[in-house]
């Protein structure tokens, strides 16, 4: 199975309306992989996300850890899933997870979706100042005038938390407004 075929199969499972059926399908697909085989880690990450969504945080935590231990390619970093669970359920390892994620960020091992997920998880946990940092990191090498290069999910999150912090408008806030004027004139 190619990576694209795997992602299509996982997306198809995600469309199943019944949560228990989604879990069963993820487990069925997972059984077709050997440890370390391409696709296993991503399947584990999707399974963990589903377990978390179904209110099974302990199972989700263990499954995210299995995805990390597998070491295979994933679309989003499973460590971010662990952070999200920790923040949502008041675990005491969130700061350690953030430190590990910062190390991965400095090594350019995170993607825009990871930054968005980290920022939104922190925002939802009321850690708005930290959310600002994580929404801003992907913008650090982009000039505010280069709106076509802006990852809008981080630009939007940054704008949102800056408003929550009652911070003054800056050049990236202006870029947010321009981006939406150009790309979504109905908003």
pLDDT of residue 145: 87
Q: Which domains does the chain have, with CATH numbers?
A: 1-75 (1.25.40)
What residues contact 98, with CB distance under 8 A and at least 6 apart?
A: 83, 118, 130
pLDDT of residue 104: 97
Instruction: Let me know: does 112 contact 76? Beta carbons within 8 Å.
Output: no
pLDDT of residue 186: 72
pLDDT of residue 187: 60
**185 is written with which tokens?**
């004139």
Residues of the chain with pLDDT under 50: none
């Amino acid at each position: 199975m190619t990576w694209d075929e795997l992602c299509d199969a996982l997306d198809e499972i995600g469309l199943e309306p019944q949560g228990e059926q989604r879990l069963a399908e993820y487990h069925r697909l997972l059984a077709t992989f050997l440890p370390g085989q391409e696709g296993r880690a991503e399947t584990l990450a999707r399974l963990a996300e589903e377990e978390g969504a179904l209110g099974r945080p302990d199972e989700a935590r263990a499954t995210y850890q299995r995805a990390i231990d597998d070491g295979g390619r994933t679309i989003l970093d499973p460590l971010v899933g662990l952070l999200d669970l920790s923040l949502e359920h008041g675990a005491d390892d969130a700061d350690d997870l953030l430190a590990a994620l910062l190390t991965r960020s400095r090594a350019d091992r995170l993607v825009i979706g990871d930054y968005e997920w980290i920022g939104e998880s922190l925002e939802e946990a009321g850690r708005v100042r930290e959310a600002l940092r994580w929404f801003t990191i992907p913008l650090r090498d982009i000039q505010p005038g280069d709106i076509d290069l802006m990852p809008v999910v981080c630009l939007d999150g940054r704008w949102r938390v800056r408003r929550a912090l009652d911070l003054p408008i800056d050049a990236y806030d202006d870029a947010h407004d321009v981006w939406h004027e150009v790309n979504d004139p109905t908003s």
